Amino acid sequence: MSKTSPHTLVAPTEVPVKKPRRTFTAEFKRRVVGEADRCKAPGEIGALLRREGLYSSHLFDWRRARDNGELADTRKRGPKPQPRDERDTRIAELERANARLERRAKRAEALVLLQKKVAELLGNPLDDPEETP
């Protein structure tokens, strides 16, 4: 009798990677539906589906989509973009400019405070223009 290692009887624990779903372009769908419509002899549609690696349910759904006009154009999905109002654009520009000027003002105030502290350390205090009448 041969001894078997306990490791050889253990099944692999790794989960196989799931394949992503196939996606088909509208052009491909229109082409396959057109070819299927031109099939006349028995078995031609089956051969077409096998050649393309498709199911009959694909063809059924794509024909219905074609009849509903969903394959006619290549519309983008999602909400339709709204035209921007010139006032909104101007407001956004002004808000950016205001934020930039506020950053510059804070930086300038910090520099003035630093100059005051340096002057005090050197024994030469600066007068605050806001405090003098």
Render each residue's pLDDT in the chain as its tens digit; 133 residues: 445 555 556 566 777 788 888 889 888 999 999 999 999 999 999 999 999 999 999 999 999 998 888 877 656 678 888 888 899 999 999 999 999 999 999 999 999 999 999 998 888 877 766 665 5
Closest CA to 26 of 84, 68, 56, 83: 68
Closest CA to 39 of 59, 21, 62, 61: 59
Phi-psi region of 128 (alpha: psi -120 to 50; beta: other; left: phi over 0): beta
Q: Tokens 């502290």 label which residue? A: 117
CB neighbour list of residue 48: distance below 8 Å, 6 or more residues apart: 32, 35, 36, 39
Q: What is the pTM of this model?
A: 0.44
The pLDDT value recorded for residue 125 is 75
Q: Tokens 């052009």 label which residue? A: 27
**Annotated domain spans of the chain:** 23-75, 87-133
CB neighbour list of residue 62: distance below 8 Å, 6 or more residues apart: 29, 32, 33, 71
Q: Which residues of 81-113 are buried (b: 16+ CB within 10 A; e: fewer)?
A: eeeeeeeeeeeeeeeeeeeeeeeeeeeeeeeee
